[in-house]
Amino acid sequence: MSHCELEEVTKHIDDKISLVKRLLELRAVAKDPEKRAYLVKIEQDVNAINGLLDRFERYVLQQRDLLKHLKELEEFFQEDVQNAQHLKENIPPHMPRREQPAAQSGQLAVQSRPADVQTAPPEQDQPRKPPRVLIKEMEFITVQEFDTIPQYMKGRVTYDQLNAAVKSINTAVTSKYKILHQPVKTLTSATRKLHQRFKDQENKDTKGQYFVVEEDLKDLAQLKVDKRFVGMLNMLRHCQRLKELRGGGLTRYVLL
């Protein structure tokens, strides 16, 4: 047996002897009724402290589990923040923007006037502005719709490229029908020729509908109607954004 092991055994025996001596002393003290009451009170206090320590240990374990759960929530929150920041920095250029209605701003201006100021009645000979006509536009393709297009039809066309084509078609439609909705007297000679050309494109099947032809896409949106663009038109037709009407040597792309 080594020297260190002998010291450990000696210390263990000494501790046991000290414990026995303490028990004998307490046994002698317990015979005294007055001192026995103090020992009972100490026992009750020790038991109460042990109960508090058990409750405290359970509370620490609960807080430890709660802290772990909060750390997991923090990781999820940080991931959501990163995703939101990525979306903010990568907004598609074709995403529609919310515009402030002109009627609302005019209403606010009227409300801001003092109540005691009366506006002058409109002059009878002042020409009235024609009512604003809303021109229909094609809705952009969603990611879910793009995924439903067969791969043989998509080829190498990307989601952004297809929506860029939608934006260009809307540009052509808007330009065309702005001219058609203007009074002929206000048109220049060049736009008057376009107005007549647009009228000649119409027939009984296009009444009340918005459409463009290949020549409109070239002149009004500077689009090159090649094989690739025709493929994108087929994709838009697959997504039910437009349909084709043929007749009179023209292919009309009608907005749905």
Per-residue confidence in pLDDT tens, the chain, 256 aa: 666 777 888 888 888 888 888 877 777 777 777 767 777 777 788 888 888 888 888 888 889 888 988 988 888 888 888 888 888 887 776 665 555 444 444 454 445 444 444 555 555 555 566 566 788 999 999 999 999 999 999 989 999 999 999 999 999 999 999 999 999 889 998 899 999 999 999 998 898 899 999 999 999 999 888 999 999 999 999 999 999 999 888 999 999 9
CA 228 to chain CA centroid, nearest Å: 32
**Prediction pTM value:** 0.53
- Which residues share a beta bridge with 254? 211, 243
What is the 8-class DSSP label of residue 182? S
Which residues touch 174 (CB under 8 Å, ≥6 apart)? 135, 137
- pLDDT, position 60: 87
Residue that is written with structure tokens 């037709």 in the block: 237
Between CA 235 and CA 231 the distance in angstroms is: 6
- Partner residues linked to 244 by β-bridges: 253
Task: Quickly count: other Cβ atoms within 10 Å of residue 127's Cβ.
Answer: 6
Report pLDDT for 42: 77
Helix-strand-coil split of the chain, %, nearest 5:
65, 5, 30
Report how far Cα 47 is from the mean position of its chain's Cα atoms. Answer: 58
Instruction: Encode burial over 6-22: b for 16+ CB neighbours within 10 A, e otherwise.
Output: eeeeeeeeeeeeeeeee
Smallest CA-to-CA distance from 221 within 169, 152, 163, 144 is with 169
Q: Cα(first)–Cα(last) distance of the chain, in Å?
A: 98
